Structure 1
């Protein structure tokens, strides 16, 4: 038996399905198997920055109902780098010491951080600076964290996008339209590629493969000539315009990727005379009930993270590799950004299905 520990857990960065399932798994394993205390940190690092720290002691009874629920009941944030924290007057202040103080004031023996590559990089820097025993768990609907084959939230996002594509086939066919579905993914095209193949899309555009508008329009015309009067196009939000411009919506610090669907709609209509409509799925891909696969992955990751703490193996992130949970140094996990391989299996699959990739 290991000595009784007091551990903390926080969710950082954008929300996604499966976060609550991780917290549940960590809490159940830590309490039921090891007899430890588990404290949930509210609002990510902002909770540790508060004085006193915003944290709640978790119980199995409290977390059990959250298995299927989307989002994170602990709250999260993807704003405010603690090493350059934005102040009201426009200045930036290093508030990392307050987060470190919060960890130690709670008397924690270890901290489990659930986040993407950006969040994990910040958490690791804090851990190295402040003597925090950190274990990382990868989550992101973009599935772009290096090393791990899957991240929490990706499967649910793909399921939601696929369901939307399934539904749009009928209205597209009824009106002989080109339906453009814009999905999330940041700089990686994993959601677009997976959902496009699963949903029977005719065109899939991802940032990893440059496209040509003439090729896309010719493909649509060829389908029309064969009696296929409608087409479904799935486009990742990070796809650039045909002149190489990355489209963003908003102003200044609040700029976010978006707008490529409408851009392509106007271009395709002008070149091919096809009637087009655009559906932007946006944050629907982050919400809702977690898929069974995300719940299983979250549960496996949560238990594995607790076991790493029991073995006092810190500065590591759990991963899914070769059908099992493993762990790697956090530095190795966030070193490379995992985008779609233009020569990978799914790209070959799409080409074999005669899906237009724009090139």
Structure 2
């Protein structure tokens, strides 16, 4: 059996652990693995590289993806790109394709399964932790720890200058990352997309804090946070039609400056949250998912995608219903809010 591996969408700590696990398991069973470079773009353009156990072994602890990635959507130009994709799949002699990605990348996989019965097994990943398929996705734990480390460094500056620091995290439509990181650092306020921004409540909380012995404040805000009657701050759109968000942290800082007259600075962590070596938790989870994906391929259980419930890995049909978005469980936010002044 010859198995292709593809990583698409935003890069994510743990992707290389999946590649390593699939490669090891398939080759141990007598098969061979081929890497598709740069996500769906690589399958459209015929960009492949061999994968051998010896070459992937050292990648376990590396961030990013050794295969490269892109946000290419072949269904954006289906008359040209879909036939090329199918021809390159056949020309490479692939018997199956393991697709590692988020809702966009897996959404393309679901359409290819439905339209052409392409033999695909999906592996979910996202630092946003916003897929119904998994209670927790690999990459999320690493991203949370990156935010925590950054905020702890910013705290000393905030203390020294008696400032309010607004830290903007990723989180296009859900607040998992902002909420977990904010709780972990003891943030004085957290703003998430699921709860509209309440400026009077925010300002009142910071005023109460000013009356305490604390001389600084840390706010953590997800990039998708918004007022109840407004859209989030949009920078531009991308291939899958999603807006690229950013700038809400600066808006909040300006409000605080005007109403409290306290020096307030904004830090946008951006792609720092995607980078670096995966945590031990993410290495273990990604390895388990990679092994499970390889088992599905070897058993020819195509048209499926892995799920994680608690510690249990299973699989379900890969279709549009499987790719639903999962909002932040507000029980976590309520626990975090118990520490807002």
| TM-score above 0.5, yes or no | yes
Q: Which of 204, 210, 221 is the aligned partner of 1:218?
A: 204
Match of 1:305 among 293, 300, 316: 293
Show CA shifts across 1:82-133 (max 9, x none): 1223xxxxxx854212111211111111110001011101112123323311
2:99 & 2:323 partners in 1: Cα distance?
17
Q: Per-residue CA shift, 1:119-157, capped at 9, x if unaligned?
A: 101112123323311100011111111131122211111
Aligned position for 2:88 = 102
Matches within 5 A, 1:214-253: 214-241=200-227, 243-250=229-236
CA–CA separation in structure 2 for the residues paired with 1:97 and 1:127: 14
Give the structure 2 partner of residue 27 of structure 1: 23
* Unpaired runs of at least 5, structure 2: none
**Match of residue 291, structure 1, among 245, 260, 279:** 279
Q: Once the two structures are superposed, what CA deviation does each residue of 1:208-229 show, in whole Å capped at 9, x if it has no partner? A: 0112111111111101111222
Q: Where does residue 355 of structure 1 map in the other structure?
A: 340
- How does the TM-score come out when normalised to structure 2? 0.95
| TM-score, structure 1 normalization | 0.90
Q: Distance in 1 between matches of 2:59 and 2:263?
A: 44
Q: For the Cα contact (< 8 Å) 1:16–1:286, is it kept in 2?
A: yes
Q: Which structure 2 residues correspond to residues 11-50 of structure 1 after superposition, within 5 A?
A: 11-32=7-28, 34-50=29-45
Which residue of 127, 133, 152 corresponds with 1:147?
Answer: 133
On the 8 A contact 1:124/1:330 being kept in 2, the answer is yes
Q: How far did residue 244 of structure 1 move?
A: 1.7
Between the aligned partners of 1:113 and 1:230, the Cα distance in structure 2 is: 45
> Is the 1:11–1:75 Cα contact (8 Å) retained in structure 2?
yes
SS in 2 for 1:157: helix
CA–CA distance in structure 2, aligned partners of residues 306 and 331 of structure 1: 20
Structure 1 residues 239-271: Cα deviation after superposition (integer angstroms, max 9, x where no partner): 114752310124797952000001110011101
| 8 Å contact kept, 1:134–1:315 | yes
CA distance in 2, matches of 1:196, 1:171: 17
Which of the numbers 148, 167, 174 marks the counterpart of 1:162?
A: 148
1:261 aligns to 2:249 (yes or no): yes
Between stretches 328-337 and 267-276, larger displacement belongs to 328-337
Gapped runs of 5+ residues in structure 1?
86-91
Q: How many residues of Structure 1 are paired with residues of Structure 2 in the alignment?
A: 339
